[in-house]
Amino acid sequence: DGGITQSPKYLFRKEGQNVTLSCEQNLNHDAMYWYRQDPGQGLRLIYYSQIVNDFQKGDIAEGYSVSREKKESFPLTVTSAQKNPTAFYLCASSISAISGNTIYFGEGSWLTVV
């Protein structure tokens, strides 16, 4: 099936650890995104990538890092510098970053700090 696959669905992180969330898409989309969602709130953009080997910071990039070495993959690393990482993380993609294109979302990953 075509779509966006995020893994793992649930992840627990100890204080001071870096963790990486995986995002893979087989939609042949150029643009990919990472959003963070806190309970009862909307989505906030962490990073986005318009093309392979290129990415830009979103509104809350501090404490996060990404890479875009392949068109279909856009992993997100939550570093120890992110002081409040517990949240629901959503990966998304669109044909291009032109604002008229529909953004398709993965099923999300829950990250909890223990």
Partner 1 sequence: KNQVEQSPQSLIILEGKNCTLQCNYTVSPFSNLRWYKQDTGRGPVSLTIMTFSENTKSNGRYTATLDADTKQSSLHITASQLSDSASYFCVVSALTNAGKSTFGDGTTLTVKP
* Minimum distance, C-beta of residue 32 to partner 1, in the bound complex (Å): 10
List the one residue out of 32, 17, 40 whose CA is nearest residue 69.
32
- Does residue 100 interact with partner 1 by CB under 8 A? yes
96-99: long-range contacts, CB 8 A cutoff, minimum separation 24: 96/29, 96/30, 96/31, 96/50, 97/30, 97/31, 97/48, 97/50
Tell me the window of 18-26, 35-43, 69-77, 79-87 that interacts with partner 1 (CB under 8 A). 35-43
CA 27 to chain centre: 16
Tell me the window of 12-20, 65-73, 76-84, 87-95 that interacts with partner 1 (CB under 8 A). 87-95
- Does residue 59 interact with partner 1 by CB under 8 A? yes
Give the nearer residue to partner 1 in terms of CB position, either 50 or 73. 50
Q: Binding residue for partner 1 (CB under 8 A) from 4, 66, 76, 87?
A: 4
Q: How many CB atoms lie within 10 A of CB 104?
A: 17
Q: Binding residue for partner 1 (CB under 8 A) from 76, 78, 103, 111?
A: 103
